[in-house]
Structure 1
């Protein structure tokens, strides 16, 4: 077997199948126990079913999409250090079509299925001035918060993420054909990559950096708003995406693959994980501090249930896992070069931000009725299994090294 080709080990297959089976069992259990189909008024069992699917589908979709963001941002920066493991974020980003379809189905089922318990703004009565349910605040946001706009923008968003991501991956694979590029060929190839990468980043800013977190997550608490929320969501999903990349890089390296990847590359991934953990904390504190300081009722309500209510423990556990642990462990240079410690931190960070998304969704949907059990963790396991399956397929079908990439030598001699 060539060092640049990959064959799925038996253990990997068993874990993938096991996680998917556990997830399917959890999904079937939820479908039977929580009666998810039909209209929901108030807090019901179906609220829990759809809220858990919403949290997981959005969280894992944004994580895999973060890998394409990483590819595009390093492409525009003319970065070469990551080329030695470039196929890893490519493989992770290839999961987007699958998770995009799942997320879209979940979102459409909620928006068009009469689940006003999740998105209160989908109830037409809140816009009827003669109704006792009329909501002046939601009526003022009706041009933005309505099922048609939500659907159209979700289709465009997932579709363009899919198309532009596929284009970037296909350009990378095309570079494997033939021999090393001459100067003119490499220049033209780089310009094409930069063109599509720029388009992706512009659209990424219009979606992940602004509108998509507003629509998919912030509109759960439709009376509340924060200008920092999209950046907060981006930071949470991007540091989780970096951690997922680190896990696959370490896994492949431990199997004797990715021969050009060294402690230097892992160190740089660790620096990004550390940096964006601090960036996430900056946004966490700034959003909370400004709302606390202003003490405006329509803003403080969002944090009241999280800080003083049943979510208090999760709220501060979120800070401990996602800030205290990274700053204490990842600050040292040696810890970012320790493959075992980096594996532990990557898993911890992903779990911590899964909890972060959980506390974004549940207080506004389940109120004090939320709790973590087999169903919540089982659905999370299902998405992890799907990611492992699709990443494994991509890695087995394509070379692990972009051998003709113009910056490969720069990555091989990379030193921090």
Structure 2
């Protein structure tokens, strides 16, 4: 690493450093009307090996940049053993390390942070760096490169426009783009989609059901089993461990609503699902990242019968053996339509956001375009040989 004059990089050590790491975005995004403060307790849990089961198969360094003793940036550098075991064609393989949680006040701090993350990865034997991943593909992957004038929806990132140039100046090139699509869900879908849905409703082999929250663990295992099969060939896919599934289920349970998650069954066999979440960011924005002393009570009250403008579809999957078939598309359109109806009727929603969707996922892109949605944000994952 070539030292950057005036910038000191040091690892997070102790509670004060952890608070500085978590709190930095409040300073950097103070003038950005589209930034939504994350819940600080969630971010602390993300970087805590005692709480986040991702650390069961990964290790990370968390670094701070200071100028004259003042924190001016942060970054993580991480190695995931499951990524190292992935096929190279899917974006992993031996020697692939990641970095993420990147925030910087200026170009000098950015350069020093990226160089420090690369040094850490090299010292661990890595030969290629990819990022940002904060911390994994299942958290907040990619850098926002288009759509800075849109506030992020739940579980999506938001970044300063200057970051793209700073990362590219460090020698990084795009590896994959991830897009989100938005649409007006207050109006019916095009006639073609309505005909496809109506045809499916006449097919006695097909059943589209709501999830049963009283059997939450069983249903969660079912959905994630379909997900692991459906996404297994996707670029960047890393299977969730049992511990991660349990952890995700515990976090998601308060914001899961039965009529917003559908399972598609064919001749009694579950073969597809679609998960939709109310945009939690609309409900937490005014909490300024704090659940205590009163934020938690406010959020629980709001979640009793959430009324939101936007619904986000973060996960959707069809078992691999049915992919690229007309039946798969039909099931997708049926689940989307049923959830659209309930989102409007029960939650007051008028807008949907689908994604993220990989740039080469032609099936999902076709579905998004058929229901007349359009790209509203693009997140880019970068790579560089070390």
Please identify which structure carries the higher strand content.
Answer: 2
TM-score of the superposed pair, with normalisation by structure 1: 0.22
Bigger relative contact order, structure 1 or 2, given CA contacts below 8 A and separation 6+?
1
TM-score of the superposed pair, with normalisation by structure 2: 0.23
Please identify which structure carries the higher helix content.
Answer: 1
